[in-house]
Each structure stands twice: as C-alpha cells, then as structure tokens.
Structure 1
Amino acid sequence: MNETQKTGIFWGVAVVVALIAAIVSWPSSNNDDGGNIGNVIGTPLFSEFKDPLTAASLKIVTFNEAQGELKNFEVRKDAESGLWTIPSKGGYPADAIEQMRDAANALVGLDVLDVPTDNPEDHAGMGVVEPKLEDLEPGDEGVGRLVTFKDSSQKVLASLIVGNEVKGQAGQVYVRKPGQDPVYVVKLDDTPLSTEFQEWIEEDLLQLSSIDIENVELKDYNASLGLQGVSLTKNYDVELAKDGTTWSLTALKEYDKTNPLAEPTLVSVDPDKELNSQKLNDLTNALDDLKFVDVNRKPEGISANLKADKDFAADQEAATQLAGRGFIPVPLGPNREIEILSANGELTATTKEGVKYILRFGNISGIADDDKGGDKGDASSADEGDVTGGVNRYLMVSTVVDESMFPVPELKPIPQTLEELDALDNPAPPADEPLPTELNPAEAPAPATPEMKEGESEAGADPSATDDAATPKEDGEKEGDEKKEAETEKAVEEVTAEQDGEAESSEPAESADSDAADSGDAEPASGETDASGEGESTTVGEAQEAADEQAADESPADGDEKAASESADSKAAETTAPAEKPEPDSSDVKETEEEKLERLAAVQEKITKENERKLEERKENLQQARLTSQALNARFADWYYVIPEATYSKLRISREELFDTSGQSSPNPAAMPPGMQNMQFPGFPGN
C-alpha cells in the first residue's frame, strides 16, 4: 500500500468520524418528526388515527390552579359488555356512543397549520404546560388539558395537550404532544372534549312522561340523626289521582305531632275545596323533566328496593355515610329489617303501566364529604330555611310494581251440562228489568170496544172506547153521511110511488122494509091507507122514520166499516205479522242430543279461549311492568343522585300549598313542633 492509498484511507476515516461527531453533538430533541419541524406543516398530527370507532376510552386531565389538584375525567367501553361507563364517577353508565364518536373525530385528520416554537420556555404562555402533578404547585398557570384516546388493547391512538386560542385566529389553538417540545397550531373544535358530567349521561333520570302519571302520593316528614338518636316528625300523607289534567283527592291523613309513630287520622275535606292544580301540575312536569347534575355510589349492602341486608347493620361506616347524605337506616320492618328514612320525606308516582316510582329526598349536597362518607353534618341543617341559591340536593330512587293496577279479569262461566247451555241460550231477565209486553198483562193495551148502538146503556160502555169509535176517519165519515141522505130520499120516493100505485116495490125499498122489520118497527103493508087521504101523510112519516132507523142500525156505515176494517187489519199486521219472514234460528229447529253436545263443546271452547285471552293479557301487562321496574332499578340501585334545589322545591309540597286557598291564610302544619319526639334505635350511630 503506497502513501497515496494510506492518505485516502486516513481522510475517509476522518470524514466518518466527523459525521459521527456531528450527529452526536447535534442538539437533542424528542420530536418524532425529525429535526426539520417545518416539514410537518399541512400533514396530519396523528397520521395513524383514522377511524374514530376504534377509540375505546377517553381520558381528560385538567388542573385546578387554586387548589393545586388534578381532575381526571374518563369514559371507557367495557370489553365484555360493550357498555360505556364513567370510571371517574364510580363506573356510572354513560350515554357515550355519539359523544365519543364526535370527540374522537375532533382529533382524526387534525392537520398542522403552523409550528410557532419548540422552546419549552414558551409553553406556559401558550397554555400547553403538561398537567403532571409532580411538576406542579398550587397557583401554577398555563397548564393545558391532556386528552388521550386509547383502543380496546389500551394502545394510545392520540394524545394531545390543548392550550390557548391563537389571538386573531378564530377556531385555532395551540397544542402540543406530551413529552415533546414543539408547539403546533391547529384548527380544533374542542366542544366534544367536555369534562361536564351531564354531557356524557342520559339526563332524563326517570324516563317517564307526565301524561302517564295516574297517582301521586306525598309523605311529608322530616328525619335527622343526632346525638340522642333519630328524630322524626311526620306532618301529613296525601294520595291524589290524576285523570288527564284533572286532579282529585283520594285520601288526606295527618299525624299526631307528639307521637309520629301513631296511626294517622283521616281528614274530612270540604267537597267544594279545590286542589292547587298549578302546584300539582308543576310537580308532574318536574318528574317528567327530572335531571341530575352528579352521582355518588351508595355503600354496599343496600338493595334496589332500598332495604339493607343483615351485614349492613354491623357496618357503622356505611351507616354513617348513608346518614350523612340524609338517608337514615332504621329497623322499621316487621322483623326489624332495616329500612331507609329520608331527611325530607318521600314522593311516589304511579304510571298507567303500573310502575311505581319512589323518590326519597336527602340533605343538601355539600353537607356530607363526598369522598369520605359524610361526617360533616346531619339532616337538621337541611331545612328549607338554610337553603341558598345554586345548591343541590341528594336523591335516591327506586321502583316497585303496583299490582293493584292489574286486577284479575272477570271470567265468563263455562257451561258444563246441556241444562247450563240452555240457560246460557235463554238467560233469565234481570230482576229489575220489566217483562216483555206479551208476558206482562198489566202492560198489554186494552181491547177495542165496539161502537155503542143506539139505545145501548152508556154505563156499560168504556167512555174512552166510545169516543174512539165515534171518531172514524174523516173521509169515511163524510162518505157515510152522504150515503145515509141518499138512501133516505130514495126510501121516501119509493113509498110515495107505492101509494100512487105506479109500480111495485124496488129492491132498495124491500131492503129498507126488511131492515125496518128487523128493527121491530115494521108497519102495515103498503097500500093499506086511510081512504080519507090521511094515509099518505102517515105513510110518508113512517117511511122517514124507517129510513132514519135503518141509517142508525147500520153500525158502522159502509165508509166507517171500510175504515175500521182497514185500521183493524193494519193493527193486526203490526202485532201478528212481521214485515219480513225471519230466518229460523237454532231454537226453532229441534236439535238432537248429539247436536246439542257438539254445540256445547264448541261453546266451551269459545268461552275458554276468551277467558284465556283475558288472563294472558293481564299476565303480559304485569310481566312488562315487572321488566320495566327491574330495568329501572338496575340503573338506580347503586347511586345517590344530585338534583338542583330548584327541582326539589317543585317536588316538595307543604300542607298549606296542597289546596287553592284563594288568598286565605292558614297555619303551616308542616312546621317543626317545639317538642319533637326522639326515637332511639339501639345499634345505630348516635346511640
């Protein structure tokens, strides 16, 4: 190897060493994007985070400057159940599907607009200091929000410190990746990145509609736990029914102030006294729109129906925590089972589906220490006089099924014999139902009375019938009168003709003579006249008399007879002959015993199916109510809810507010009496 080659090798090694030295001596940087940070402008900040649905958890860390504390808010999807929960709130169920998608979308496709600095000293001024408790002290400023998305395997999909807005650039903010110095400018809508509890839950707590509420019960009492035990004051109970928008009072009971455990007295209310509909409507509307602002997990051992198990009685810490929030465990059950008394009474609302909601009102939120179980006060400090604006109140909710809303339906009896089938086919009329006219002679119309003939005694005739018979159809009456006059004139002419000997008697005359003879008034034969000429006059008079008698004997006259006949035919047709011949029913056809047995079996099957349908409908409705109640209790069982005081004031109605007093003042029976009864429950805090 000559000198030239040696020199070349030497210089080659020197260049390599220089490059290595240059790399080693280059200022250290933890920027993933390399030394030339200007190359990242216009590129996605998280190039691998493309699908928001892959995000299975979100954690947001913020810093409280005044207290020097970090606040963690987390939403997580359970890998097994697929349900979203809020671990930072004890695992409370989250309504996070859409909210989580929107939050993840805020970081998907987030492009870098600018890189104003990579100097750590600028971080505080841009609000991108990382919230790490070990590096912070109370009063530190410029701390940003740390937002981190992870997938189901807990791999980080995106993590970003969100700082201040860029002045003069709407929608643009400073951001920084944790552990890196460069600060980026991005256009970010951070609205979905909220740590507000209400933004991540179903706010409608009860999920009922005011129009579905049918019954409301208020139990107005106060309970507190003191050094001497449990103090209890019961004011009144009231049961109210709601039909649409109309309220009615079912029962009002008041308690003896000196003995709250005594049975209440039923109060008689003036029927003219009106309920305070405005207050009651406000109450149901508040139930419809009941929202809560926070939750705390209840101690173990309290079931969904707010009864305690045996182990709970020995858990003094759990009992103290419960009482600190205004829910006092006392042995009230028949076998001294532990039940819950509320600091400020109860409200029960039953829906038309048969689900009964029970709301128990506790202390003002903040009296108890939320983190350590609440030993900073008792329920006595929760009186209305101590309430100030903006405070909240603890609430516990449970549900049961009101089985009185599902009465057993009335079932139709099933015939078992042919005699019972016959009785079903021909049921006896009810005792208070009158018999049909044809079976009740007292109700049958009186028979028609014939027209009284001349000379008949008036005492033997029905006056009403005589009047009816003497009033024929108007047309028939006129026709009969005209016919009588014509016959009379004809009879006179015939008698006169006989006297003159012009002709023999005609048929009408013979008829008249015959009628006259029938009446017993017949005169000597025509032609036997007085020779002096008096016979003609006498004969004419006798003929006139005979004609009058004939007319009187025609009862009724031809026209009257025709009208009466038509009327009688019409009435007979109405009573005896139907307009149309009905189809013969089964009772008109003689059934054989075999046919009757077949029909009995068919009737039994039909009635059985109808009864089964009624029972099945009740069973389904009752089962649906139970399922609804179970699902609701699954949500309510583990939690104290915190509601606004303004909502509580609408749900609590005092005795004096129950009725519309129209400006009349009345004493407040709900006021605490001077000598409140103290009841001792051994084995509980305060004894």
Structure 2
Amino acid sequence: ALEVVAYDETTATARPFKVEFQNRRWSLPSHFNYPADAQNRLAKTAAALMDLKKESIRSDSASDHAALGVIDPLDQKATSLAGRGKRVTLRDEKGGVLADFVLGKAVDGKAGYRYIRVPGQKRTYAVKTEADPSANFEDWIETDLLKLSAEEIRKIAINNYSINEQLGQLENVERTVLIRQKDKWTASTGRAPRKPAIDALTGALDTLRIVNVQPKPPALTKDLRAQEGLMLSMESLMSLRQKGFFVTQTGQLLSNEGELIVETDKGLVYTLRFGEVAPGAPGATTGTEDKTTERRYLFITVSYHDDRAAAYNDGDPSKVRVTGNRLARELTNRFADWYYVISGADFTNLRPRAKDL
C-alpha cells in the first residue's frame, strides 16, 4: 500500500490518501474503494522511494523545517501552517513500513533534488529523487471514462430542463438535436452550429474526467447491471433523490439539470444525466478546474443498439456488433456502481443552450 498525506494551508487540514491492493485489484480506500489505475504509477513511486540515497545533510535543527518544507503534515504540535511537506509511506502486504519520508521543497539550484526528512527526526537531507506521489483522486484513476473519441460521435440530443421539486414538474424545457454527416454538423435549430461550440461539447465528452465518486445502493447497482428495468427500493429512491434524480410514475428517470444523449458509430447510446450540486471532497480539487461554477452529480447509462449501428455503418451493423456489445457490457458494469462527480467546467460545456450553439 502507498499512503500519501498532503496539507491544505487554506483549510489547515491534512489530506490523507491511500492506494491499496485488496480483493485482487488496486483501489482507493479514501474514495469508497474506487478502482485505481495504479500499477505503473505505484511501481515507479515505490522504486523511487526505495532508491533514495541521503546524499548530503542540510540541517540538524528543527527550526529549519519550515523553511525547507519538511514539517510533518500530521504533526499536531507544530504551530506553523506554512512549510509542511508531503508525507509518503510505503507498506508491504502485511502492513510493515518499507519507507516513510516527509518530502519537502525543491533544492534551489539543483535540478531533481529536494529536501526530505524521516518523521520524528530533526535531520534534513537533500536527495535526488523523482518521487512525488499525488494525493489527488483524479491522478490515480482511469482517465478515459466514457471510452469514446470525438470522431466517433454521430448524434447528440441536448435535453435542457430543470425540475421544480415543489410542483413536481419540468421547467425551462429546451431540446436541441445535433447530427453529424461526413464531418458536417447540423442542428434542429435550423441553422448551422458554430464550430467552437461543437468542438467544446465533443471535446468535453472525449476528455470527460471525474473529480469524485459516491457509491450507489447495492440494490440499485444490481438493477442497473441486469438491465431488466428498475425494481426500486425505498433506499434506492431516497439515494437517487438526494443526488438530484427522480423516477416518474411511468418509470422514467429524470434529472435535476437535464440530460445529454450521445450516439456513436459503434451503435452505443450514452445517457448522461446531470443531478444536484455535489459537495467538494478533500483531495478532489486540483486547482485547475473552474472555481466559478459548481460540481454536479452525474448518472451515466449506456447500451448497444443494432439499428443505430446499422445507421452509421452503411446498413451493416455486423462491422461493429461484437465490439459495441462488449464495450456496452464493460461500461454498464463500471457505471452501475457509481454516482460520478464532474467539475463545474465540464458541466457547463456538456449542456450548452441552443442560443450558444
């Protein structure tokens, strides 16, 4: 296992993060055991930590720790908010400590060198190391969430609406359909959509990344994997409602802030439903997302349709049937477990208004 503790000076809190091998896979205990795409990154980090050589002593005084950035982020006795480093601990399969360091600031004038300290000791060293493991959730997960590229997209239906929860009705309803034929996009608005707007939308789908997750109730996950309709329990209904998703009396699933339906040339139909505002989570912020808008819960489903595959492959769905079915099953199993959380920037790009297209 690898444990990383970073420090957030703005909130004066330590942010623990852990990557662990359990049940025959790498997962993130700090995020409900979400699957980690960690093997290569972890191997590189472990090798760098185990290979550390304490080449030169820079200080034996605790008073220098803040200036060198090696105050332990878990040290509750330290009064300084600034100067805290990143504590990195590598453990074996039985929990024994293989390496444990506080990584500090980069050494001025020496590329590739940084200050380190062993927790509990005063001495600070300057070492050459590439070890700098991230404590951010986004850096340890599969980055290609939807498994699609912008070039594969053939049709996008944007269903913008909001739900008045008190009256139980849809408001501000607006539907726009975009269709691509031979690299040319047309819109149901009757005018050609602007290329920058199309590029922003398809690019957001291509590069969509999540910043946090919440698990769905087991019964809801089971229903979604079975794909035989939702037999919703009270727990599932309450969970959906809390995240901004509502089931009508006819069984239709609606979302607080509309939905996006995307068709690809593989015959896949994705439905992205945008729910309630999601709270920020420790370790989920990278500092690069749009701070002016709010994170949202995202509920994703996907299915393969032979008629759509035929429509986008000259009437012959056999070209993509095997690939499309396999990918739909793989993604359904992935999406069934989780409510995803996306950044405000992605939320904005994925639901443009008709006037902006």
Normalising by the residue count of structure 2, what TM-score does the alignment of the two structures yield?
Answer: 0.80
Alignment check: 8 A CA contact 1:220 1:235 kept: yes
Alignment check: 8 A CA contact 2:211 2:341 kept: yes
Alignment check: 8 A CA contact 2:186 2:193 kept: no
Q: Which amino acid aligns with 1:353?
A: K
State the Cα distance separating 1:197 from its structure 2 match.
2.7
2:333 aligned partner: 634
Of Structure 1 and Structure 2, the greater strand share is in 2
Q: Which amino acid aligns with 1:60?
A: V
1:354 aligned partner: 267
Matched, 1:296 2:214: yes
CA 1:403 to 1:175, structure 2 compared with 1: closer, same or farther past 3 Å?
same
State the Cα distance separating 1:321 from its structure 2 match.
5.5
Alignment check: 8 A CA contact 2:164 2:171 kept: no
Matched, 1:654 2:349: no
State the Cα distance separating 1:352 from its structure 2 match.
1.7
Q: Secondary structure at the match of 2:204?
A: helix
Q: Secondary structure at the match of 1:310?
A: coil
Q: Which amino acid aligns with 2:39?
A: I
Alignment check: 8 A CA contact 1:211 1:244 kept: no
User: Aligned runs of 1:244-393 on 2, under 5 Å?
Assistant: 244-248=182-186, 273-276=190-193, 278=195, 279-303=197-221, 304=224, 309-311=231-233, 313=234, 315=235, 322-325=240-243, 327-333=244-250, 337=251, 339-366=252-279, 389=292, 391-393=294-296
The superposition leaves residues 602-624 of structure 1 with CA deviations (integer Å, 9 ceiling, x where unpaired) of xxxxxxxxxxxxxxx96795454
State the Cα distance separating 1:391 from its structure 2 match.
4.2
User: Aligned runs of 1:438-453 on 2, under 5 Å?
Assistant: none
Matched, 1:208 2:148: yes
Taking the aligned partners of 1:281 and 1:126, their CA distance within structure 2 comes to: 45
State the Cα distance separating 1:359 from its structure 2 match.
0.7
1:218 aligned partner: 158
1:199 aligned partner: 139
2:286 aligned partner: none
The superposition leaves residues 180-208 of structure 1 with CA deviations (integer Å, 9 ceiling, x where unpaired) of 343322122344x2223332223222121
Taking the aligned partners of 2:261 and 2:281, their CA distance within structure 1 comes to: 27
CA 1:346 to 1:390, structure 2 compared with 1: closer, same or farther past 3 Å?
closer
State the Cα distance separating 1:112 from its structure 2 match.
1.5
Alignment check: 8 A CA contact 1:215 1:350 kept: yes
Give the counterpart of 1:395 among 276, 292, 298. Answer: 298
CA 1:155 to 1:244, structure 2 compared with 1: closer, same or farther past 3 Å?
farther
Taking the aligned partners of 1:285 and 1:176, their CA distance within structure 2 comes to: 43
1:454 aligned partner: none
Taking the aligned partners of 1:245 and 1:618, their CA distance within structure 2 comes to: 20
For the pair shown, the structure with the greater C-alpha radius of gyration is: 1
The superposition leaves residues 624-671 of structure 1 with CA deviations (integer Å, 9 ceiling, x where unpaired) of 42321111122222223333333333322334456xxxxxxxxxxxxx
Q: Secondary structure at the match of 1:72?
A: strand
The superposition leaves residues 58-103 of structure 1 with CA deviations (integer Å, 9 ceiling, x where unpaired) of 110123344342211112223x42x322222222222222222222
Q: Which amino acid aligns with 2:26?
A: W
Matched, 1:183 2:138: no
1:625 aligned partner: 324
State the Cα distance separating 1:320 from its structure 2 match.
5.5
The number of equivalent residue pairs is 340
Alignment check: 8 A CA contact 1:350 1:402 kept: no
1:131 aligned partner: 73
CA 1:629 to 1:332, structure 2 compared with 1: closer, same or farther past 3 Å?
farther
Taking the aligned partners of 1:390 and 1:143, their CA distance within structure 2 comes to: 30
Alignment check: 8 A CA contact 1:358 1:397 kept: yes
Alignment check: 8 A CA contact 2:306 2:317 kept: no
Matched, 1:71 2:15: yes
Q: Which moved more, 1:646-655 or 1:618-627?
A: 618-627
CA 1:238 to 1:120, structure 2 compared with 1: closer, same or farther past 3 Å?
closer
Q: Which amino acid aligns with 2:266?
A: E
Structure 2 runs not aligned, ≥5 long: 283-289, 311-315
Of Structure 1 and Structure 2, the greater helix share is in 1
Q: Secondary structure at the match of 1:205?
A: coil
Taking the aligned partners of 1:189 and 1:299, their CA distance within structure 2 comes to: 40
State the Cα distance separating 1:350 from its structure 2 match.
1.3
Q: Which amino acid aligns with 2:115?
A: Y
Give the counterpart of 1:157 among 92, 98, 118. Answer: 98
Q: Which amino acid aligns with 1:288?
A: D
Alignment check: 8 A CA contact 1:70 1:133 kept: no
Matched, 1:232 2:174: no
Taking the aligned partners of 1:321 and 1:98, their CA distance within structure 2 comes to: 35
The superposition leaves residues 93-117 of structure 1 with CA deviations (integer Å, 9 ceiling, x where unpaired) of 2222222222223223221122344
The superposition leaves residues 226-250 of structure 1 with CA deviations (integer Å, 9 ceiling, x where unpaired) of xx3534226243444322212356x
Taking the aligned partners of 2:186 and 2:8, their CA distance within structure 1 comes to: 52
The superposition leaves residues 538-583 of structure 1 with CA deviations (integer Å, 9 ceiling, x where unpaired) of xxxxxxxxxxxxxxxxxxxxxxxxxxxxxxxxxxxxxxxxxxxxxx
Alignment check: 8 A CA contact 1:296 1:370 kept: no
Q: Secondary structure at the match of 2:334?
A: helix
Q: Secondary structure at the match of 2:51?
A: coil
Matched, 1:98 2:40: yes
CA 1:346 to 1:310, structure 2 compared with 1: closer, same or farther past 3 Å?
closer
Q: Secondary structure at the match of 2:83?
A: coil
CA 1:319 to 1:172, structure 2 compared with 1: closer, same or farther past 3 Å?
same
State the Cα distance separating 1:370 from its structure 2 match.
5.5
Structure 1 runs not aligned, ≥5 long: 1-56, 253-268, 372-386, 408-616, 659-687
Taking the aligned partners of 2:130 and 2:291, their CA distance within structure 1 comes to: 36
Alignment check: 8 A CA contact 1:216 1:350 kept: yes
Taking the aligned partners of 1:222 and 1:146, their CA distance within structure 2 comes to: 44
Give the counterpart of 2:4 among 60, 63, 68. Answer: 60
1:583 aligned partner: none
